[in-house]
Structure 1
Amino acid sequence: MTVLFFTTVNVTTADAEPVAMRPQFYDKVTRDGWHLNIRIDNEVVNSVPNLANANDSREGFVTASATATAVGGSSPITDSIFILGYQLGCQSDVSAGLQYGGTAGVAPQGAIGVGSGSGVSVGGTGGVAGFVQTVLQPGVIVDLPLSNMTLSPDGRAMIDIDNIHIKADACGGDVTVRSYAYLRVSTDLAHTQFAVGDPIKI
């Protein structure tokens, strides 16, 4: 589907205040008796204007602490992995390429034209206008694991990230990030994996 957008070229991006996210936690009891707990605390998401002033890129900085514990099981833990990371969701993937241009004149306010086939054009207000044309692909979600470790012999793991940079390029529309803490535990009797997370737009 080819989409043609007309917008005015005078676009500014304001600084956003850092957002403190609510704590997250998840308790689970495995079938062989291990009491597992994962949590994310002290998470802050700081959305910032794109350094390159690109309209199709978003970036921010994230801070968080994640903790995992495992107690009380009947079979020894033979393998484990604990991960703290983020998932990035892009509303429209425009990585196929963008074409930028400009037109001068007056366009009818709010004019929307739908031609034959799937071409769509959206008009803006009068003045000098610019346009972006791209072939839209389905939205994409990518995993961004930031740090990982195994459980200690006494069943604990702690991960801290502070002011880590994340970004999404070639993204049309909203960009949503979701923190996640993921724990996988294995014994001779069972394999268990689970996660917790919370989304926010940047």
Structure 2
Amino acid sequence: MKGGVASQAQRLMVAGCAAAAVAFGVTSGAAIADAGPSSFADRSVSKHTADGWRITAVKAQEKVRSVRPLNQSPWTREGFLSLRGEGRIGGAGRVAVSAGTVSAGFQIGCNTDVTSGVTLGMTAGPTAQMSISWPPALIVGAQANGNISTTLKPGTIANIPFGTKKLAGPTAGLTVDGVHVKVDGCLGPVAVRSYVTVAISTPANDNTVNVYGQPHYL
């Protein structure tokens, strides 16, 4: 009798896995197909500061390419990301700018973690893993992170900075091309959204401007 119950539980688990795999195929089948990168429109946001400066954050050259996972796992999302972030300072400020930076990266979110077993409609624990890597030499003169790994908690968003460049003049920027991103243990598509942040500081005020891209999916 106990054996029959165990066999029935195993059959239910297999059925649950199959159902999840089917759901994955229906909702994300297009996302994992190998295709050329999708390019997205450039965007910019400008603000005037209390000191009289005009600062602008520019998001440009954004591309998101979803690919079929190399490990063939239905719980893995893989892709390549490209982005340029640029900061500009203009106007005739009354107080000199003493420091400034431009940062660029992506915000990445996982809907449901399945690393502790297949669950439909419920999370299984905050342990979905993400790794990002690219050659730091692609960002010349910037503070770049060579490898990033983090734990994605279902229902939350992780900010992943690709690098920060100092604003030593009126304009500065950084470009990353073909950054590899892989998320394991996630059911359903992984959402990504680009961001660029420009910050300046004067002896009197600190100001920050952000620009964001549209959400896309791996």
TM over 0.5: yes
Report what 2:187 is aligned to: 172
- 2:27 paired with 1:7: no
**Counting strand residues as a fraction of each chain, which structure ranks higher?**
1
- RMSD, aligned CA: 2.7
Query: Match for residue 42 of structure 1?
Result: 61
C-alpha separation in 1, matches of 2:21 and 2:193: 31
After superposition, the Cα gap between the structure-2 partners of 1:120 and 1:174, relative to the gap in structure 1 and judged at 3 Å, is closer
Give structure 1 stretches of 5+ with no counterpart: 100-118, 122-132
How many pairs does the alignment contain?
Answer: 168
1: distance between equivalents of 2:155 and 2:202? Answer: 38
Change (3 A) 1:29 1:120: closer
Give the secondary structure class of the aligned counterpart of 1:7: helix
The answer to whether the Cα contact below 8 Å between 1:88 and 1:168 also exists between their aligned partners in 2 is no
Letter in structure 2 aligned against 1:89: G
Other-structure match for 1:109? none
- 1:52-71 to 2 correspondences below 5 Å: 52-71=71-90
Tell me by how many angstroms 1:162 deviates. Answer: 1.1
Q: Which residue of 1 aligns with 2:70?
A: 51
The amino acid of 2:95's aligned partner reads S
Q: 2:45, 2:211 within 8 Å by CA — same for their partners in 1?
A: yes
> What's 2:146 paired with?
none
In 2, Cα distance between the equivalents of 1:120 and 1:151? 48
Letter in structure 1 aligned against 2:81: V
Detail structure 1 runs of 4+ shifted over 3 Å in the superposition.
3-6, 8-13
Q: Deviations over 1:42-83 (max 9, x none)?
A: 211111111111212211111222211112322112222211
Shift of 1:169: 2.0
Paired with 1:182 and 1:120, the residues of 2 have a C-alpha distance of: 37
Q: Taking structure 1 as the reference length, what is the TM-score of the superposition?
A: 0.73
1:135 paired to 2:147: no
CA contact (8 A) 2:44 2:56 kept: yes
Alignment map for 1:179-190 (pairs within 5 Å): 179-190=194-205
| CA positional deviation for 1:30 | 0.8
TM-score computed with the length of structure 2 as normaliser: 0.68
Question: Residues 104-151 of structure 1: CA distance to partner in whole angstroms, max 9, x if unpaired?
Answer: xxxxxxxxxxxxxxx979xxxxxxxxxxx9725642211111111110
* Contact 1:98-1:134 within 8 A present in 2 as well: no
- Deviation for aligned residue 1:5: 5.3
> Between the two proteins, what is the percent identity of the paired residues?
28
* Alpha carbons 1:66, 1:160 under 8 Å: kept: yes
- Structure 1 residue aligned with 2:40: 21
8 Å CA contact 1:93, 1:139 repeated in 2: no
Instruction: Evaluate the alpha carbon distance shift between residue 80 and residue 93 of structure 1 in structure 2; reply closer, same or farther with a 3 A threshold.
Output: farther
Q: Is the contact between residue 93 and residue 140 of structure 1 (CA under 8 Å) also seen in structure 2?
A: no
